[in-house]
A = this chain, B = another copy of it.
Amino acid sequence: MVRGGASTLEYALLGLLHQAPASGYDLRKTFVTTPLSLFSDSPGAIYPALRRLTRRRWLAAVATLRTGRRRQAFAPTSAGREAFARWLRQAPSRDDVVRDWDVLMLRLAFMSGNAPPPEIVAFLEALEVELTGHLAGLQSFLAAAGAKLTFSGRLAFESGIYGYRAQVRWLGRSLVRARKERRRS
């Protein structure tokens, strides 16, 4: 909703359907059998989301295979592909880094094939800016108020620092590889 029209679940479904048409049941299985497990496989979430996307004309039902079994597969429309590309192209904000890192990684995961290599590099570069900015903010919080933290409060805070530092390292390595990939294309 926040980012221009659809929920994260809806974009995730839309992205998966970019790879191949699939039914609600297929998509649910994908959520349980892959590290996309951050989404629930609840039918009460997925089927209504598919219908919302269909009503919006971002998805269309494709010809059902003629096995006896009931089954409705979906594929993105051209409007759906455009909306998805717009979603991928959004600049990562500081707020995304703090609250929705997993959504940023979902977007990154979908970029190969759906966005040109330079866009991946630009995305990672923007990520680096926001990430190091946020880390600096955490450090200065620690300097200013660290003395007041309780023992376990400090541990929890340091967990955050460890996590973000790891992502900075990951970013350094990923940027090198993404720039190499860009040159190759």
In the A-B complex, the 10 residue pairs with the smallest Cβ-Cβ separation, listed nearest first, are A166-B166, A112-B150, A109-B156, A112-B152, A162-B170, A111-B152, A105-B156, A108-B156, A162-B166, A109-B153
The answer to whether B166 and A109 have CB atoms under 8 Å apart is no
A interface list, Cβ under 8 A from B: 34-35, 37-38, 98-99, 105-106, 108-113, 120, 138, 141, 145, 150-153, 155-160, 162-163, 165-167, 169-170, 174, 177-178, 181
* Copies of this protein in the complex: 2
Give chain B nearest CB distance to A109 CB in angstroms: 4
The answer to whether B177 and A167 have CB atoms under 8 Å apart is no
Complex contacts, A166 vs chain B, CB 8 Å = 162-163, 165-166
> With A105-B159, A158-B174 given, can you name 13 additional A-B contacts, CB distance below 8 Å?
A38-B98, A106-B156, A108-B155, A108-B159, A109-B152, A110-B152, A120-B151, A159-B167, A162-B166, A162-B167, A162-B170, A163-B170, A165-B166
The answer to whether A152 and B38 have CB atoms under 8 Å apart is no
